Every structure is written in C-alpha cells, then in structure tokens.
Structure 1
Amino acid sequence: MTPPAAIRAIWLTALAMALVIAQAISASARPESFADLAQKVSPAVVNITTSTVVAQGTGPSPIVPEGSPFEDFFRDFQDRNNNGEGDRPRRTSALGSGFVISEDGYIVTNNHVIETADEIIIEFFSGKELTASVIGTDPKTDIALLKVDADEPLPFVSFADSDTARVGDWVIAMGNPLGQGFSVSAGIVSARNRELSGTYDDYIQTDAAINRGNSGGPLFNLDGQVVGVNTAILSPNGGSIGIGFSMASNVVTRVVDQLQEFGETRRGWLGVRIQDVTDDVAEAMGLEKVAGALVTDVPEGPAAEAGMESGDVIMQFDGYDVEDTRGLVRRVGNTSVGKTVRVVVFRDGKTQTLRVTLGRREAAEGVVPAAQPGESEAPSEVEILGLTLSQLDDELRSQLELDDNASGLVVADIDSLSEAYEKGMRAGDVITEAGQQKLSSISDLEDRITDAREAGRKSILLLVRRAGEPRFVALSLDAEEEDPQ
C-alpha cells in the first residue's frame, strides 16, 4: 500500500505539472509569429494605383506677397517646372490599398483613394495588374467598391463580426504604405467605437503601423478575417505614431452589400433634427433618465406624417432603447427604407408610441426645415435671464432673413457673464419656444417662466434658432430673481 506521504508527493508533482502546462497554454496565446497568417491572406490584398488628368496650373504654389523681391524668382521657378507648356494638362498618380472580397473580383477600398481617378490599376501580390471599374462609393463612411474582370477565380478574404473585437486583441494591417509595396504591421485593438467626423463613424483604433498608402487596406484578426478597413491616422507630422483608425467591418459590410446591389447606399430617414438630452434638459422636461434624442425640428417627412412634434424625446426606435443622438442616427440609417417602425416618444410628461414609415436619407438631404407660424405683434423689449429680448417685427425679420410668418423673440443683447452666454446663446438668436410651447410675445415667455416655477422646475427649456438651425437650451430659473416685467 502506498504511504500517504508518497500520495501527497504525487499529487503535488501533478499539480506543479498542471501549472506549467497552464502557463505554457497562456503564453501560446501570444503568437510567436504572424508569418503563417500573412502568407494565408496576402494573395487577397492589393495595391491600388490611380491616375488623374489635371491642369498644369492646379497644383500647390508658394504664397508670396505681391511686390515681394521673391515674386519674380518664384515665377521663373514655376515657368521652368512647366517647361514652357503653360496650362497643358498632365497626369498625376496616387497610391492606396484594398482587398478582394469575392472570387469574381469585387474589391473594397477607401473612397478617398479613388474618388478623383480617371484610371484605377489593381496590382496583386503575384505582380499581376488589372484595370478596375467603380461599382459605387459612399463618402459618408469613406468606402468604395471596385470590380475587376479576371480569367480565373481570385483569392479573397471574408469579413469578421467587428462587434466581437475586444480591446487588447491582436490585429495585423496590410497594404502599400508610402508606396513601398506589400507590407505587414502588427498591433492590438487600442479602442472601439471611435468617432472622428462622420455621421456613421464607428472606428476601431489600433497601434498597428498605418501610414499614407495604407488607406483602404484590411485590418485582420488572427483568424484571417477583415475586422476593419484602414482609413485614417492621427498624427502631428503625417507619419504613424501608433494611433490609426479602421472603419469597423459591420459598418463596411452593410455599405458594400448596398453598393453591390444598387450601386449606391440607401439609408433609412426619419425626418427630424435632434440633439442630446443633457442633465438640465432632462430636469426641465421632467425626465427620469438622461437619455434619448430631443427633437428640435420636424420638417416635412416621415416623422411629421406620423405626428411627431418638436420637443418630443425619442426614447425607443424599432424596439431598441435610444441612449443618445449618435446611436439613433446609426440605428435609423441601418434600417431598411420603407420599413414601418414603432417609435416611442416622451411628450407632456408621458410616453406615446408612433408608427413611422421611413424614407430614404439620400433623397432627403436637401429638405428645408419646417416654418414656425405665428402672429405678429407690436415690438417691445425686456431683459430676462441675462437676455435682452425684442419681439419679432418685419424689420427684424428682414435683418435676420427670416420668413414673413416667423414668430418668436430675438436676442438683441446678452450678458457675457450669464448662463445663457456660457451655453452658447448670442445676439441674433431667435427663441421660438419656451417650456415646449410656441412664443409669439414677451408675455408668453413670462407666462412660461411662471408656469415652470409653479411646477417646481429649476430650469426652463428654450428652443433657439440660429440661421435656421434649431437647438434646445435649458436655462436655470435661479438666474431670474425678480418677476420679468
């Protein structure tokens, strides 16, 4: 019979071996090399060369003050560069990257890589070159879909679900940096859901080296799937400093599917102007939670037809809770044109459900905001909440280039130390609503302030227009210590 001490020794040895094996497995999570992955996906990655015909005189020129002693020097310099050809057209080239997504030759890249091109040449990893045609582009996400005709099936890669990418995951970027040809760089997912400047931005931030020429190239996960399209870098000197941005694959796939089917994008359109709900706005409206999208204007369109009103707070869209305006815009844009959705709004202290049939955003980009009708009254002026307000009259409407039937109160002057000034209000702004009710006179505003105080509100919500653009501003009633008379 084995002694107990010997049994304990065996167990301790087994445990030690298990720990060693576990450490080895953990260490193997970090790849020793990306060579196999790079070899696997490289055939689907392409270099893109574009050429464009431009006039000789359209390039950048030095800024020299008129009459400067250097003026003649730079003129002679430009003449020598032009070889006496004047404004004779010339052809310029640019470089970028892309990747094949189907064996029949569909290629994804950035719109800015090819948007001005007269000719697009695709160079494959093998060295073979083919001319590409443009199937469709989407400037809003900077994505373009190209097509080449090949004699045989092409190697291609598939998209990953970018929502599964985690901060810290390994990724590799491939492309044509600085025109040096096929190149691979490795890094990690540094951040998710980055927003740069576009309405539909959803970028993956990575420290994998991305430089000029990498634009349009793929960002791969360790399964060899495309998790993003390399699009932009953040840099003070034009070179990589480890802050690169790739458009998330889940955004790209929706765009590519529409470009492939229609040759253009077809995004849903609700037909409202919105702003985020802030703490003071939520308090002024009696909202329990600081969330949703506050409707500032309802021009003619789907939402207006469904009965939505300025001052509504959109709480749910098509079964999804709305946290902020960015989330709502993306959700609406990703919904099919013509679909009827349920929209839950907060209005007058309670929720209400509307059924809205979405229009198409691309067809409605130039919609004019709805006019604000109202009665015209005799002009007067008063100071309220740090604002000097005048009632709209024909002269003010003319000065501010407003419609003849526009109504409201004009900010004639503003105290630079007031809360209103701190929140961005300026002289020339027009207040069209207070407490979510239209204003046609100063007495209307005074009544709204009185009503808000009696309801125990600490602030009042104003709808302010500047150059036709509406936004809501909540002002504290503590700033108004005396009755506005």
Structure 2
Amino acid sequence: MAVLLGTALIAGQPDMAAARGAPESFADLAEQISPAVVNITTSAVVAASTEDGPMVPEGSPFEDFFKDFQNPNGEPEAHRSEALGSGFVISEDGYIVTNNHVIEGADEIQVEFFSGEKLDAKLVGTDPKTDIALLKVDSDTPLPFVKFGNSDLMRTGDWVVAMGNPLGQGFSVSAGIVSARNRALSGTYDDYLQTDAAINRGNSGGPLFNMDGQVVGVNTAILSPNGGSIGIGFSMASNVVSKVVDQLKQYGETRRGWLGVRIQDVTPDVAEAMGLADAMGALVTDVPDGPAKDAGMLSGDVITSFNGSEIKDVRDLTRRVADAPIGEGVQVVVLREGKSETLSVTLGRREEAEAVPAAAKPEAVEKEAEVLGLTLAPVTEEMRDQLKLPVGTEGLVVSKVDPVSEAFTKGMRQGDVITEAGQQAITSISDLNKRIEEAKEAGRKSILLLVRRDGDPRFVALSLS
C-alpha cells in the first residue's frame, strides 16, 4: 500500500474528513494492482475504400495502371485492422471490464496479462451508452482481480492512479488527482471523474484506482488538441460501471428503468413563469403512452422526488430512473398547480421503449401574425398534412423567427408548433394574446410556451417586457 505521511484537520472544523498527504511512493500500490490489469488487442476485417491509393485525373492513362498495381483483379480488397486498449479483471473466474469502443466491431479479442500470458476473450455484453464492455476468458488457474470502490466518496483533490497500455507501449502507471467530479460529456448517463493522471490512446478501458487499490473509474476519454495527454482525462465513475457490469453479467445486456416522459430542466426563467420558488426538479413536457401516463402524470408537472430521493435536475432524474427496478412500483412526487401530488408508477424497460420510431420533421408554413418575435399561424387541416402532424393537433405554427428576438436566442425556429401558453391550450393568435395579458395581470415577467418540434415537446419561457 502507498505510505501515508499523515493526516490533518482544519482548525475549527472537526467534522471534516481527514485528508491524506502525498504518498512517498506509488510502488507498493502499483505492485499490488498490476496483476489484475490487462492489455487488450482486437482485430477485425475492414472493407477497403475505393478512395484509397494515389489520386490521378479521371481518364488519365495512369488510371488503369494504378488500379492494376493495387489489385490485379481491379477490385478493392478488405484488410485486417488491429486496435489496442486496456482492461482489468474483476473476478477470479475471468470476467474483464473494458470500454465498448475498444472492442466494438472486433471479431478477435486477445488479452495479455502482466505476467505475459495471453488468452483469447469472448464478448459477454456491451453498453454503448456508458461505453462499457464485459469480456470473459477461461483460465486453468484463478486470476488475480480487483474490486470496485465507491466513486461517490472520491473528492476533488484525492490521489488516484491510472494503469494501462498507453500508445501500445505496454503496462504503464501514471498518478494524479481527481480534478473534478460529476462531469458530463455527451451521454445520457455520464458521470465522469476528471483527472490529471496521464491518460493517452491505449489507456481506454483501463482502471483508475484510489489509494486502497479499488477501482473508482474506467478511463474512457481525454480532452486534447493533439491526441496526447494534456492533463484532462475522464474516467466513468465506478458506481455507474458496477451496475452496468452486474446487468451485463446476468443478462448479457442492460435493463434500465423507463418512466415514459419527456422532460427538461427547470431554469430560473421557467421557474419564474410557473411561479415556483426554486429552479429545481424536472419539468414534464410530454406524457406519451407509458408508465407515467398510466399513473396520471401530466404535461407541466414538475417532478421533485423519485423513489424517496429529491430530484435536482433532468440528469439526476434520468440516472435514478435508470437504476430503479423494472416492473416495480415507485413513488413519484410532482408539483402541479402549486400543490404536491404523489403518484405510484410501475416502471417499464427503457431499451424496449427506445425502439419506437421518431415523428416526422415539420416543414415551413405561411405567416399570419407576429407575437413575441414570432410569426405565427393557426394549425389548419391542410397544415397538419403539410407538416405531417398527428391527427387532432391544434396550436400555432412558427413560420418565421426574428433573429434578434429572445425567442431566437432560446432556440425557437421555423416549423415549431406552440400548443400551450401559460400552461393552457391555445388554438389561435387571440388565445395567445389572452394568455399574455393574463400573465401580465398576474405580475409575471415571462410566459411559458409549450413548443413541439419533430414530435418532441419542450417548455420555453419568453419575457413579456
């Protein structure tokens, strides 16, 4: 284990956790964990590109020459491509965790252990949403392995160690600190630890360890202008990874909970428009057929609590729903018209729900009147067909957005359909103007619009001044 130089408490704050000093050396820790870290080599057949090779003018006498030189038959040839990555053993019977992008598309996967032994691995399952893959090797002897730690206990400034196969150079250790927590890149379930421990190409899928030799992250991505480490690396938090791995091991796939709502964050302007005290929770923009609709949830509800836990924002709710058990009832607290209501929702499975195709994209329409920087026209029967809107859709279609208006700044565009204003249905320009006057009379500084685009709804708060 790494040497602990000492602990310190800040004077006057006896309840703060003890802080570890800088280790004298990481050698003991590296020796302890290295037998469970592996290098991964994958190979796959890649179709040849017809654009490969020298470029010559069309019709040139050299054109046929180069084609024949590349391939006597004149046809592009496929070739085998190899890729490198890292991983780590999580059980003595040979389960190995790595990144999905390390093994994606591979038809052969080979694992090299610190001892030099090489074994062929089979793919158990993958989760592209968190970029995690689970492999399995068969070994005649029990394999050394490492355990997951609790990533939620990691603090900004804690020491961490990364290990893997950077740039294909073989087993390598780098050390640093947790630079930040709860980072999101582009995925729905992102929860990354940011670290300045050197992570390079080939480190993907390798472990990030705490000072107790527990895995607190899976090294996944770097932020770099040149492809090399500049001290900004991202490791998927172990508390996310361990749940995914358990499902992949049990089912060969993920099984996430599904609430069946479209949601958005409650921003300060939306909170003001709705008369909310705090900009917290997840605002429901649409409730299609599914578990939430069956439980009585409505568009405009603000979800403040899920299964006993307070909801801070959309990301918080999404992760909690995903981790909740499928087919079991959970208590969901919503704020509706200033009052709290508790609904019992039996969750479905997200993977099955995502198979539903998206709605068609609306097209532009003729203008009729301008309000709040928007040129609007009521939806007619002809427009429903033209815009490919669902039968019975009512509201106002946006045919133009003033580029210097607040509406444009907040993302409203031609083809959007406004179906509600002030959380009431509208079918005409006069309806919208009436809702605006009511909001002004109530002392509101903005009005909340429910806007649909490509079948997806969202709330937009526009200023009335």
> Common fold, TM-score beyond 0.5?
yes
1:328 aligns with 2:320: no
Counterpart code for 2:202: G
* Contact 2:130 2:187 survives alignment (8 Å): yes
Of the three residues 34, 45, 52, the one matched with 2:37 is 45
Q: How does 1:310-321 map to 2 (within 5 A)?
A: 310-321=299-310
Of the three residues 166, 175, 181, the one matched with 1:177 is 166
Counterpart code for 1:466: R
* Contact 2:205 2:218 survives alignment (8 Å): yes
1:402 aligns to what? 389
* Contact 1:299 1:369 survives alignment (8 Å): no
1:222 aligns to what? 211
1:157 aligns to what? 146
Q: Closer, same or farther in 2 for the Cα pair 1:295/1:393, shift >3 Å?
A: same
* Contact 1:300 1:369 survives alignment (8 Å): no
Q: Closer, same or farther in 2 for the Cα pair 1:63/1:82, shift >3 Å?
A: closer
1:420 aligns with 2:403: no
What fraction of aligned residue pairs are identical, expressed as a percent? Answer: 69
CA deviation string 1:362-393 (max 9, x = no partner): 1100336899xxxxxxx993222222211111
Give the drift of 1:437: 1.4
Counterpart code for 1:456: G
Of the three residues 323, 343, 368, the one matched with 1:381 is 368
Q: Closer, same or farther in 2 for the Cα pair 1:127/1:72, shift >3 Å?
A: same
1:135 aligns to what? 124
Give the drift of 1:103: 0.4
Q: Closer, same or farther in 2 for the Cα pair 1:132/1:169, shift >3 Å?
A: same
Of the three residues 84, 101, 105, the one matched with 1:95 is 84
CA distance in 2, matches of 1:445, 1:369: 28
- Secondary structure of the residue aligned to 2:30 is helix
Q: How does 1:103-122 map to 2 (within 5 A)?
A: 103-122=92-111
The gaps in structure 2 that reach 5 residues or longer are: 9-18, 361-365
Counterpart code for 1:34: F
Give the drift of 1:77: 6.3
1:286 aligns to what? 275
Give the drift of 1:29: 2.5
CA deviation string 1:70-127 (max 9, x = no partner): x958x86676555768333322111111000000000000011111110111111111
1:349 aligns with 2:328: no
Counterpart code for 2:287: V
Higher helix proportion (structure 1 or 2): 1
| Matched residues, number | 447
CA deviation string 1:278-311 (max 9, x = no partner): 1111111111111111111111100010111111
1:125 aligns to what? 114
Q: Larger deviation: 437-446 or 145-154?
A: 437-446
* Contact 2:67 2:74 survives alignment (8 Å): no
Q: Larger deviation: 421-430 or 304-313?
A: 421-430
Of the three residues 167, 172, 178, the one matched with 1:189 is 178
Give the drift of 1:432: 0.7
RMSD of equivalent CA atoms:
2.6
Give the drift of 1:223: 0.9
Of the three residues 24, 33, 56, the one matched with 2:25 is 33
Counterpart code for 1:315: T
Q: How does 1:215-294 map to 2 (within 5 A)?
A: 215-294=204-283
CA distance in 1, matches of 2:289, 2:89: 42
Give the drift of 1:65: 9.3
Give the drift of 1:224: 0.9
- Secondary structure of the residue aligned to 2:250 is helix
CA deviation string 1:345-367 (max 9, x = no partner): 11122121111111110110033
Q: Closer, same or farther in 2 for the Cα pair 1:404/1:24, shift >3 Å?
A: closer
Q: Closer, same or farther in 2 for the Cα pair 1:68/1:469, shift >3 Å?
A: farther
The gaps in structure 1 that reach 5 residues or longer are: 1-21, 372-378, 479-485
Q: Closer, same or farther in 2 for the Cα pair 1:380/1:182, shift >3 Å?
A: closer
1:18 aligns to what? none
1:56 aligns to what? 48
CA distance in 1, matches of 2:5, 2:191: 36
Counterpart code for 2:22: R
Counterpart code for 1:404: V
